[in-house]
Structure 1
Amino acid sequence: MTLSFKTKDRHGYSVKFSPYLPDRFVCATSQYYGIAGRGTLFVFDILSSGIEPVKIYEWNDGLFDAAWSENNENVVVVGAGDGSLLVYDVTNPKGPLKAFKEHSKEVSSVDWSPTRAENFILTASWDSTINAIWSPRLPGCFATASGDKTLRVWDRRTPQPQCTIQAHEGEVLTCDWNKYDQNILYSGSVDCSIRGWDIRNYNKPLCEMTGHRFAVRRVKTSPFNGNTLASCSYDFTVRTWDVRQPHAMEITEHHTEFVYGLDFNLHRPGQIVDCGWDSLVHVYKPRVLLDGSLIGMVPNPLVVTTLVEA
């Protein structure tokens, strides 16, 4: 069953499930496809009756990514088009608690360190054209995906990367760590491919997955299965993968525009949320993940098409 919500004239860029509450997530959106106009942060709860907005926050520029605090269930940090980093308390009906001007151009990604003792926020921006994400298993370690076609692994205590991977033939738009192996990293690119890498030996990829017709905007690894990956793309689809197979297990076609945001629920095995430029937000379980793990090994992908009224 797919639950859907339409954000009217706001176009979805990022969705993140709460690490604390299984039925809560946020969606960062922008007006006019992020080119101009305002931005809106939606705080949603998943109810038996559907997706319900519990807080809506407006900002004077587009919002492009969001991350939950790892030490406070009510705090969200959001990246804005004016270079600001916004900190919200979702119990507060007013605007952000703080607004830090950290970048000269739009903040394209934000991530909160999973190590509570460190409590760092990682940001990336179009002033350097990268996407950045903390390792869930290696304290102080993070990876960046860049427009220079590389994937880099960093230690926050040193200024130079620990390794630089010549990852793709086109810009690398996204990356994510395997939740079960601290050495495995996945990347997605405008060359339409997804590749897996072992950061100890990265002369060639561990695996390559193909099938997207346009750029891979985001990849997310499952918190329940080390072989499961989901991706979304400018080809309007979300795809579910077994990383041991070169082709998708399931193709979900329920958007009519670029799909930008994607996340796995940390509490409900197999549940995914996505959002796109068609202003639609969907919460659902791919059929091959009904029990949280991949079901069967099919030679051809299962194609699921859902029509949602505007």
Structure 2
Amino acid sequence: HKRSNRSYLKARQITWIPLSDSGCGTLAVLEQNEAGICLFRSFDWNDGLFDVTWSENNEHVLVTASGDGSLQIWDTAKPTGPLQVYKEHTQEVYSVDWSQTRGEQLVVSGSWDQTAKLWDPAVGRSICTFKGHEGIIYSTIWSPHIPGCFASASGDQTLRIWDVKTPGVKVVIPGHQAEILSCDWCKYDENLLVTGAVDCSLKGWDLRNVRQPVFNLFGHTYAVRRVKFSPFHATLLASCSYDFTVRFWDFSKPNPLLETVEHHTEFTCGLDLSLHNPGQVADCAWDELVKIYNPSCLAVPV
């Protein structure tokens, strides 16, 4: 089971049930082959699962983030319970990400308890806690360029940049006049990030000058739930929203909205772009569907 067939799902191949006293969550690992998409493995947990990330050094290992304040490490080659469970957050863990920079094997998590935590899976406990946000942390994303650097987006309306080698926050950006639900790093510019917020907008930020955004993208009619930069195009990104749509943008163009896809009947909450196929996208929604498709704006010229 090659990782190349599954890696573009790695940030969102998860089905979850809203939290309740008797609720549970399911991690669904999906595989793409000649016959289409099929369920490769599923794992149940006793509370809702909000996020998942693939290991960067083992194609069988994943980490999930749960509503009970814990993280779980799973091995798809071992269809049993989790290999490890870390329970240090005091409220829901809403985001988890595995570092992609060379030489690092670190995980960062963000929680409703307003903290981010750094984990080394070889240690079995958190090795650092980052405090400073004054609201729920919705997103924690490693820089693909700078070792030990990650961004966090929060309900306190700020985007923050952290360096694991130094205490305290490195940069605070009051990005929106609304809760920020998602952020992502540009794959081609170490200084460029994008945020998506409850105010329905996306904003680009250059870390060399954060006094004002370098671009603003408008079009969504409800909160922006997820933003992702393209791995293949420096100025292209995608967003999904509670308005049921996925939108594709090129912020370098006078008319940046390239395409709007509306193929879900509920809130669209998950989104990723393939790392191996330049034209392929996966998304998911509250209608319990995962869709994999090739939007026309990403078609590769022949």
TM-score tier by shorter-chain length is 0.7 to 0.9
- Taking every aligned residue pair, what percent have the same amino acid on both sides? 51
Does 1:125 find its partner at 2:138? no
Contact residue 14 and residue 29 of structure 2 kept, 8 A: no
Higher relative contact order (CA 8 A, sep 6+): 1
CA RMSD of aligned residues (A): 1.7
Structure 1 segment 232-243 matched on structure 2, within 5 A: 232-243=240-251
Question: Aligned equivalents of 1:35 and 1:148: distance in 2?
Answer: 25
Contact residue 43 and residue 55 of structure 1 kept, 8 A: yes
Residues 78 and 247 (structure 1 numbering): CA distance in 2 closer, same or farther, change over 3 Å?
Answer: same
Q: Residue 202 of structure 1: which of 195, 207, 210 is its match?
A: 210
Question: Aligned equivalents of 1:275 and 1:261: distance in 2?
Answer: 5
**Alpha-carbon deviation of 1:19?**
9.5
Q: Which amino acid aligns with 1:106?
A: E
Structure 1 segment 18-97 matched on structure 2, within 5 A: 20-23=3-6, 25=9, 27-31=13-17, 33-35=18-20, 37-97=23-83
**Alpha-carbon deviation of 1:270?**
2.1
Q: Which amino acid aligns with 2:109?
A: T
Does 1:223 find its partner at 2:224? no
Per-residue CA distance 1:73-99 (angstroms, 9 max, x = gap): 111000011111000111111121111
Q: Any stretches of 5+ residues in structure 2 without a counterpart?
A: 115-135
Q: Which amino acid aligns with 1:187?
A: T
Q: What residue is the counterpart of 1:165 in the other structure?
A: 173
Q: What residue is the counterpart of 2:117 in the other structure?
A: none
The TM-score normalised by the length of structure 1 is: 0.85
Question: Aligned equivalents of 1:73 and 1:125: distance in 2?
Answer: 26
Runs of 4+ displaced beyond 4 Å: none
Q: What residue is the counterpart of 1:260 in the other structure?
A: 269
Q: Residue 257 of structure 2: which of 248, 254, 258 is its match?
A: 248
Tell me the number of residue pairs that the alignment of Structure 1 and Structure 2 aligns: 275
Q: What residue is the counterpart of 1:211 in the other structure?
A: 219
What is the SS of the residue equivalent to 1:249? strand
Q: Residue 111 of structure 1: which of 93, 97, 107 is its match?
A: 97
Q: What residue is the counterpart of 1:306 in the other structure?
A: none
Residues 34 and 248 (structure 1 numbering): CA distance in 2 closer, same or farther, change over 3 Å?
Answer: farther
**Alpha-carbon deviation of 1:247?**
4.3
What is the SS of the residue equivalent to 1:288? helix
Question: Aligned equivalents of 1:160 and 1:240: distance in 2?
Answer: 35
Q: Residue 153 of structure 1: which of 161, 165, 172 is its match?
A: 161
The answer to which of 210-219 and 20-29 deviates more is 20-29
Q: What residue is the counterpart of 1:4 in the other structure?
A: none
Does 1:190 find its partner at 2:198? yes
Question: Aligned equivalents of 1:200 and 1:257: distance in 2?
Answer: 38
Q: What residue is the counterpart of 2:286 in the other structure?
A: 277
Q: What residue is the counterpart of 2:295 in the other structure?
A: 286
The answer to which of 186-195 and 35-44 deviates more is 35-44
What is the SS of the residue equivalent to 2:297? helix
What is the SS of the residue equivalent to 2:203? strand
